[in-house]
Amino acid sequence: MTPTLAGVPDAVARFVPPRAARALVLAGAAASIGSTFLPWTWTSEFPGDLTVTGYPGGNQLITLALGACTLLAGAASLRPSRTRWTPLLRGLALAQFASTWYVLLAIAFELGGLVNWVAGTVVALVAVALPLVGALALPDDDDPERSDGRTFGRPVEIAVLFVLTFAAMLMVGYGLATEHTEQFVGFVLAVGFAAWGLNRGGLLEHVSAMAARNRTATALAALAAAVAFAFVQNDPAHMTLAANVLIFGAVALGLNIVVGLSGLLDLGYVAFLGVGAYVAALVSGSVYSRYTGAPLPFWAAVAIGIAVAIVAGVLIGAPTLRVRGDYLAIVTLGFGEIFRITANNLDGVSGPRLTNGPNGVPGVPDLSIFGYDFGEPHTILGVTLGRFSNYYLLLVAVVAICVFVYARVDRSRIGRAWAAIREDETAASAMGVNGFRYKLLAFALGAALAGLAGTVQAHVTTTVTPDQYKFLATAPPNSAFLLAAVVLGGMGTISGPLLGGALLYVIPEKFEFFDDKQLLLFGLTMILMMRLRPEGIVPDRRHRLEFHEREIAESEGRRTAARPPKAADAGAAT
């Protein structure tokens, strides 16, 4: 039997029978759905306008969605399956409870007291508590027998993957569209506890297995959803944030080659992003550029930016990759600072005039590819795409290229050599793996992906300055946040660094009260992750086995003990 949820009073499970518990879950989920059609306050001063009867708005939509999911999961739990329904229902009920109570308490706190509550507020308070009480009183599920076989046919699995991907895209769009901290906090609470429940219930495991069996379809679904996002969410402020997230994610994916696949700690990686950005800015035709010739086409700027970044990666890697561990980290940290100081000094006074020193290269013009001006709005399929929507779509292509390169290299002979070096470089050398050559290749390829992202970043931000590429700055991208994105998301995976980069970029932007405390948020996040999930949000299978070897062994032991004996075993025992 799986232990009950920590901190749940025994009296809840002792005095509420299972049938009554299921009735509480179903009735409470239905009541919580109904509460969203009632006003939660009488004044529209609270974000989201929660004063309308019969039309949910603001965070009421989150309560409505979670109530529907809880109701469906509660109904589905009446039939036996491989899903562990009790932890799933607890996660969904806890997500709805935490998100709704936070919003209702925020109404009273921010507007000046309980006088701002109305009858619908009390209904919502009670309604969202009923599913939580019922879910906590449910008996724990036995650990079900897992199966790696297909649950559905291949066409159905592909359709499910597309539906889930687009649903995730709409959920992300809702999170970005939240205009106030109160709304975003409620959204984060709901998503966090719901994800916990889905993971404990085994549904995320089923979806991951389904995606692994249909890699091409999963990639196409993610690409289609990313492109559709520009047409669904077309607000300039939100698309600016989305474009910056893609830049950050692409660079984090390149760093994952160095850190996640090869096991090399690079603390100056953001310098390669700066190399690509400076190259693109200098050949873009800006009036502040040292290069006064005709602007080069974008493909040429990309090629030069990647080439210079590779040269920089080889130059830093060749003399330093003989060292390992902390010594390598110190050297790469020095390289990042050398790049920033050099860019500061190439101002025509301290050194040759090339980068304009601390002033950088402002006025980088917008791109124009095949006559498509990225700085001008364009109407496609009836939707007007602004400047940042145009660059967002370009960055989707850049991230797709980075993902393709990463996936192909990871499953190649080179990727296996990197894995061997990461696990034990001495043993890999004894088996004939040329550690220096493969580590140098990792540095070069990681630098190339960062240089590619940098060439686009220069045109998105229109200004390139040395202070943008520090080891630790007040805002990403910087080397510390890039490394944190890889560790937070999951080293050695594709979706992990992208998810980690998105979280580290979006959360500080949305939490207005953390405006000058981003380093505090960064530190707290790392501490919690190392304590609760050291393998990352999207763990690599090898890292998960390393960090949870004991728990997995105990789970397998419980499964073996609970499995009924086979006929042959029973005959032998007789």
50 part of a folded domain: yes
pLDDT of residue 266: 83
Q: What is the pLDDT of residue 509?
A: 76
Q: List Cα–Cα distances, 127 to 96, 131, 405, in angstroms.
A: 10, 8, 50
Residues 208 and 270 in one domain: no
Are 178 and 286 in the same domain?
no
Whether 478 contacts 472, CB under 8 Å? yes
| Domain membership flag for residue 423 | yes
The domain of 51 spans 10-221
Is 382 strand, coil or helix? coil
Structural domain contains residue 552: no
| Per-residue pLDDT reduced to its tens digit, 475-525 | 667 778 888 888 888 888 888 888 888 888 887 777 766 656 666 766 777
Burial class (CB in 10 A: 0-12, 13-18, 19+), 11: exposed
If asked whether residues 216 and 268 sit together in one domain, one would say: no
In a domain, 252, yes or no: no
pLDDT value at position 42? 87
For residue 429, the surrounding DSSP H or E stretch is helix 425-430
- Please return the burial class of 469, using the count of CB atoms within 10 Å of its CB with bins 0-12, 13-18 and 19+: buried
Which residues on adjacent β-strands are paired with residue 378? 385
Residue 507 sits in the same domain as residue 380: yes
Sequential DSSP letters for 282-341: HTTT-TT-S--SPPPPHHHHHHHHHHHHHHHHHHHHHHHTTS-HHHHHHHHHHHHHHHHH
Structural domain contains residue 453: yes
Counted domains in the chain: 2
Do 40 and 189 lie in one domain? The reply is yes
Q: Give the pLDDT confidence score for residue 328 in this predicted structure.
A: 81
Do 195 and 299 fall into the same domain? no
On whether both 216 and 364 belong to a single domain, the answer is: no
Residue 244 lies in a domain: no
Asked whether 309 and 447 are in contact (CB, 8 A), the reply is yes
Alpha carbons 31 and 64: distance in angstroms, whole number: 10
Residues 6 or more apart from 316 whose CB is under 8 A from it?
Answer: 268, 331, 332, 335, 443
User: Please, how many CA atoms are within 13 Å of residue 479, restricted to the half-sphere of its CB?
Assistant: 27
Query: Which DSSP state fits 494?
Result: S
Residue 384, beta-bridge partner list: 379
Contact between 367 and 459 under an 8 Å Cβ cutoff? The reply is yes
Which two tokens mark 5? Answer: 């949820």
Whole-angstrom distance, CA of residue 558 vs CA of residue 240: 50
Q: What is the CA radius of gyration of the chain?
A: 26
Per-residue pLDDT tens for 518-557? Answer: 667 667 777 877 777 777 788 776 666 665 556 555 555 5
CB 375 within 8 A of CB 226: no
Q: Which residue positions in the chain have pLDDT lower than 70?
A: 1-16, 80-83, 141-153, 292-293, 473-476, 512-519, 521-522, 541-574
312 and 413 share one domain = yes
Which of 221, 246, 272 lies at the terminal end of a domain, its last residue?
Answer: 221
pLDDT score for 544: 63
Whether 153 and 105 map to the same domain: the answer is yes
Residue 408 inside a domain? The answer is yes
CA 46 vs. chain centroid, Å, equals 29
Question: Do 189 and 299 belong to one domain?
Answer: no
Is residue 159 located within the same domain as residue 302? no
